[in-house]
Structure 1
Amino acid sequence: MARKGVQAHENLGWINCQEVYYVLPKGIKVLDLQYRETGYASEFTGSFDCSDDFYKRLWIKAERTLYATMRDTCIDCPNRERT
């Protein structure tokens, strides 16, 4: 149970997803919801262009997916899994 007044919470754990569902108890008033994008410290390089919007969107999704999941390669490596 929360105390009276305005409360704030930030979950510092990360998840990879496209949708988030919040289940809140009755009586809770949400003032603001935000997200903090995180990824591996890198820069986007290269480019892709064509006349087909499907492939342009696919390129962007692939680029964003790699950015969001590159960190997992360093963290979820075989050496870590063995420990």
Structure 2
Amino acid sequence: MTIALMWEARAVAGRGDDLLAWVRRQEVAGAPVRREVLRAPQDRVLVITWWDAAYDADLPELPEPDGDLVTRAVHRWRFESVAGD
């Protein structure tokens, strides 16, 4: 089964590049099948990692950035891949 972990944070206004740099420096323990980093308006950064694991597996995630870098707590979601039609 393939599981996708999504991690999304919103930087303090004008600090999107700092948050992006912080994310790129973070190592994820283990070896995800894939890792992708995306950005969006309003200084948002999204990280998606894909794992070959059970849905409820204990998987490593990125930590919370320092409070002076983000406007709120990180949002996290877990998804299970499903077969396409």
- With the length of structure 1 as denominator, give the TM-score of the two structures: 0.29
The answer to which structure has the higher strand fraction is 2
The answer to which structure has the higher helix fraction is 1
- Look at both structures and tell me which one has the larger radius of gyration over its CA atoms: 1
Larger RCO, structure (CA 8 Å, separation 6 or more):
2
